[in-house]
């Protein structure tokens, strides 16, 4: 049997059929209107009705969080996660742990949030915040190492560990001095591509140099190498100095210092023009590997030979960004990293660091506002719209319990008869529901 009705009546039925809200949706609505007491009451009734609904528990957590009751929020976000691990609950747990200074816990749950979020802008924002916290943690570890310097055991240092100290660029003209920092960063990135080596984090190096009040002109001083290596937990230190060789040329001189006994191994000097800075940097890296006696695979060699950018202008903007980052001027650093990415859109490292610096310059409150907006935006791009879902549900075209829980009452038959069951016919609806 084929059931039919005029298209106009059908559309009116879909648009105006009952849309009584579930307890869960009523609680969300109350929260959005700022009525926290009503929201909490309704949402707790919702979890009594459906204890295994992770979304209702999560909504309770959001209300408690925005009311400043972080202990209660943590408890119910954890409950939501136990039912079904989800990105939003982990994100807010991260904000709670970040506020209390529990960086290890915050890093763990932010990592889970990024993994569960899949892909897109929201995931990128979470990963950016995650890097900020990891940098803070490394900073704390470096400062703690300085305080406990006397108790550090150099005999326990991993033999494959290596750290690249900031290169000395003090003899360059002032506008070129930041390139020494950029070259050291590139060298560290390339050495990290060798599986046999464990390259130490650059953020820790910067903190150690600052804590020991080592000036740039002493970065290449072999006498400081063993002490810095011990504090970093590195068995070897790469030192380097950058000098001009004329109007458009430069040279890198480097040395390897062994932390345990202070012995020094020299690497040959590498020279070239400023426009070919990337060739000079690559040759310097291969010289370090030769001095270490490390044999690399073809895949590792190919990876090292990849060039992040061939633009000297982009490289200098990147290097200046590192200079400002070291001084805690994150907004200025972000601007310069973005500039480097604008000059060379393929310079991914610069673009990524611009995002990190933007995150670093924002408070956790600012991060929450931005990432929550991003969550809503991405959620709005998937599934049915609220009005459409409720109407389709209540018109008995979609008998889905999750849609009911989100949007309203149990389904009822459309005017003119019972449900339209599969196999009995079809209805074609033309028009734009979004116009409603």
Q: DSSP 3-state assignment of 249?
A: strand
Looking at residue 368, what is its pLDDT? 82
Q: Is the separation of the CB atoms in 233 and 154 below 8 Å?
A: no
Residue 15 exposed, middle or buried by CB count within 10 Å (0-12, 13-18, 19+)? middle
pLDDT, position 105: 93
Radius of gyration of the chain (CA): 30
Q: What is the pLDDT of residues 411-423, one digit of tens each?
A: 444 455 444 444 4
Residues 6+ apart with CB under 8 A from 28: 39, 43, 59
pLDDT value for 375: 77
DSSP symbol at 114: H
Listing from the earlier edge strand, what are the strands of the sheet with 198-199? 198-199, 161-164, 236-244, 249-258, 264-273
pLDDT at 423: 44
Query: In whole angstroms, what is the distance from residue 417 CA to residue 354 CA?
Result: 60
Distance CA 125, CA 378 (A): 13
Domain boundaries, the chain: 153-307
In angstroms, the CA 6 to CA 101 distance is 63
Low-confidence stretches of the chain (pLDDT beneath 50): 1-19, 381-390, 392-393, 396-400, 403-404, 407-414, 417-425, 433, 435-436
pLDDT of amino acid 44: 94
Residues 94, 110 contacting (CB under 8 angstroms):
yes
pLDDT in the model for residue 128: 83
Candidates 3.10.20.30, 3.90.1150.60, 3.40.50.300, 3.40.50.10070; CATH matching 153-307: 3.40.50.10070
pLDDT of residue 402: 54
Q: Per-residue pLDDT tens for 252-290?
A: 999 999 988 888 887 778 899 999 999 999 999 999 999
């Amino acid at each position: 049997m084929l059931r039919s009705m005029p298209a106009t009546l059908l559309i009116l039925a879909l648009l105006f059929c009952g849309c009584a809200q579930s307890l869960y949706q009523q609680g969300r609505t109350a929260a959005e209107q700022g009525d926290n007491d009503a929201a909490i009451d309704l949402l707790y009734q919702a979890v009594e009705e459906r204890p295994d609904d992770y979304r209702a528990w999560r909504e309770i957590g959001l209300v408690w969080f925005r009311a400043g009751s972080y202990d209660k929020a943590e408890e119910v976000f954890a409950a939501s996660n136990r039912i079904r691990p989800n990105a939003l609950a982990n994100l807010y747990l991260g904000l709670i742990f970040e506020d209390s200074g529990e960086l290890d816990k915050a890093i763990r749950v932010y990592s889970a949030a990024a993994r569960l979020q899949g892909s897109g802008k929201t995931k990128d924002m979470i990963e950016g915040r995650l890097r900020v916290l990891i940098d803070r943690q490394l900073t704390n570890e470096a400062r703690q190492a300085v305080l406990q310097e006397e108790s550090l055991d150099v005999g326990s240092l991993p033999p494959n560990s290596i750290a690249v100290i900031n290169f000395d660029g003090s003899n360059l003209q002032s506008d070129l001095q930041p390139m020494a920092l950029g070259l050291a960063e590139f060298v560290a990135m390339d050495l990290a591509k060798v599986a046999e080596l464990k390259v130490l984090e650059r953020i820790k190096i910067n903190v150690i140099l600052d804590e020991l009040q080592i000036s740039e002109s002493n970065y290449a001083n072999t006498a400081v190498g063993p002490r810095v290596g011990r504090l970093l937990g590195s068995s070897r230190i790469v030192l380097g100095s950058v000098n001009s060789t004329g109007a458009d040329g430069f040279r890198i001189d480097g040395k390897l210092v062994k932390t345990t006994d202070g012995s020094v191994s020299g690497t040959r000097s590498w020279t070239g023009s400023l426009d070919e800075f990337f060739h000079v940097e690559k040759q310097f890296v291969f010289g370090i590997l030769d001095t270490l006696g490390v044999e690399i695979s073809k895949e590792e060699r190919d990876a090292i030979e990849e060039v992040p950018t061939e633009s000297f202008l982009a490289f200098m903007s990147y290097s200046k960004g590192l200079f400002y980052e070291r001084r805690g001027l994150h907004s200025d650093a972000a601007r310069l990293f973005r500039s480097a990415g604008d000059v060379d859109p393929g310079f991914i490292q610069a673009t990524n660091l611009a995002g990190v610096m933007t995150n670093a310059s924002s408070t956790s409150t600012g991060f929450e506002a931005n990432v929550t907006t991003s969550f809503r935006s991405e959620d709005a791009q998937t599934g049915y719209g609220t009005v459409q879902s409720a109407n389709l549900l209540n018109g008995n075209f979609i008998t889905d319990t999750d849609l009911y829980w989100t949007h309203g009452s149990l389904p009822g038959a459309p005017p003119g008869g019972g449900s339209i069951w599969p196999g009995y016919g079809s209805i074609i609806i033309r028009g734009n529901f979004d116009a409603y």
